[in-house]
Amino acid sequence: MTVEATVFKGSETGIVQGKSVLATPTGTQVLVRITHSGICGTDEHYKHADMVLGHEGVGIVEQIGEGVLDLAVGDVVGWGYIHKSCGRCEQCLKGQDNYCRAGVEMYGLNNFHQGSFGSHAVWDESYLFKVPAGLAPEHAAPLMCGGATVFQVIEDFNIRPTDRVGVIALGGLGHMAVQFLAKMGAEVVVFSSTDAKREEALNLGAKEFYATKGVERFEGVKSLDHLLVTTSSIPDWAPFLALMKPKGAIYPPYCRLVQPRLPYDVYPHGRTDHPRVCSRRPRYSQAHA
């Protein structure tokens, strides 16, 4: 059955506009009535584009196509940045579907008529994740992109419970990174511009907290194995590079339109940086099943 859905799209002026679209699930597609959506910093990149915004969606299955096998009407599901991949190429079979050789479909590149800013959306069932009954949908929505992004960094680069891990900023990505790292047993160190978020950081599981405003060098702070940079802007690298152990790694898991620059002396010590934009699907979904 066709449903008239309301969606909210970007525009040339940057003003978000409501539109009506028709939605009908076929084959392996699922019609989701959206109940909650996160707001990601990446959404701002597309507010001038003629596309439906939002990619941290949670809702209730209202209709299913004739080929749907694993979802049923009434299920609570969520979806994130990636919409679909082939599921058969080497990268997909390795669980790295965000690098699908056949051409991954993702937010901002495909399916411009669908998003989480709206009343309904139609997605392939393979990229809809069941939300556990004990997880509130308003808490699940930000996990679909922000949570998945930092989780992928932790897994891909083998961050271990014995590691000392820094997190710069305690915003959308940072507060989830702190919780994931703390629960796996890592020694978490939070850096924020002022002391305003000290108590929150410690309550989330951080062992140490340092305010960074005006700091040229951190005195008496033990060195770090890893550093997740979750700020919305590029930090002053100097005081943080001095904290990194030889072979230490820096991960900026955000999407910015400014190219970060690192000084040459980072590299002779084996220090590296690993940018990340979006997370893959299967392992993250399994870990939160």
* Distant-in-sequence contacts of 193-202, Cβ < 8 A, 24+ apart: 197/170, 200/170, 200/175, 201/170
Confidence at residue 254, expressed as pLDDT on a 0 to 100 scale = 62
Q: What is the pLDDT of residue 263?
A: 56
Domains of the chain, residue spans: 3-142, 148-273
Tell me the pTM. 0.84
pLDDT of residue 235: 86
- At residue 286, the pLDDT reads 46
How far apart are alpha carbons 190 and 177 in whole angstroms?
Answer: 10
Q: Write down the CATH number for the domain with range 148-273.
A: 3.40.50.720
Count of residues in the chain: 289
pLDDT confidence of residue 85: 93
* Span 3-142 CATH architecture: Alpha-Beta Complex (3.90)
Give the tens place of pLDDT for each residue, 72-108: 999 999 999 999 999 999 999 988 888 898 888 999 9
Q: Say if CB 234 and CB 258 are below 8 A apart.
A: yes
Diameter of the chain by CA atoms? Answer: 65
Q: Classify 225 as helix, strand or coil.
A: strand
Output the pLDDT for position 252.
84
What distance in Å separates the CA atoms of residue 116 and residue 112, rounded to the nearest whole number?
Answer: 11
Beta-bridged to residue 7, according to DSSP, are 19, 118
Whether the CB-CB separation of 98 and 279 falls below 8 Å is answered with yes
Q: What is the pLDDT of residue 265?
A: 54
CB burial string 32-65: b at 16+ within 10 A, e below:
bebebbbbbebbeebeeeebbbbbbbbbbbbbbb
CB burial of residue 94 (10 Å; 0-12, 13-18, 19+): exposed
Ordered alpha helix ranges (H), 97-253: 137-140, 146-156, 174-184, 198-204, 238-241
Catalogue the E-assigned strands of 75-201: 76-79, 82-84, 105-106, 120-124, 129-130, 164-168, 187-192
Which DSSP category does 148 fall into? H
How many Å apart are CA 241 and CA 35, to the nearest integer? 43
- Per-residue pLDDT 10s for the chain (289 aa) are 899 999 999 999 999 999 999 999 999 999 999 999 999 988 999 999 999 999 999 999 999 999 999 999 999 999 999 999 999 999 999 888 888 988 889 999 999 999 999 999 999 999 999 999 999 999 999 999 999 999 989 988 989 999 999 999 999 999 999 999 999 999 999 999 999 999 999 999 999 999 999 999 999 999 999 999 998 788 888 899 999 999 899 998 765 545 555 555 555 444 444 444 455 554 544 455 4
Question: 127 near 43, Cβ under 8 Å?
Answer: no
Task: Give the distance from CA 223 to its chain's centroid.
Answer: 27
Give 147-172 pLDDT, tens digit per residue: 999 998 998 898 999 999 999 999 99
Q: Residue 69: which residues within 8 A CB-CB, separation 6 or more?
A: 28, 125
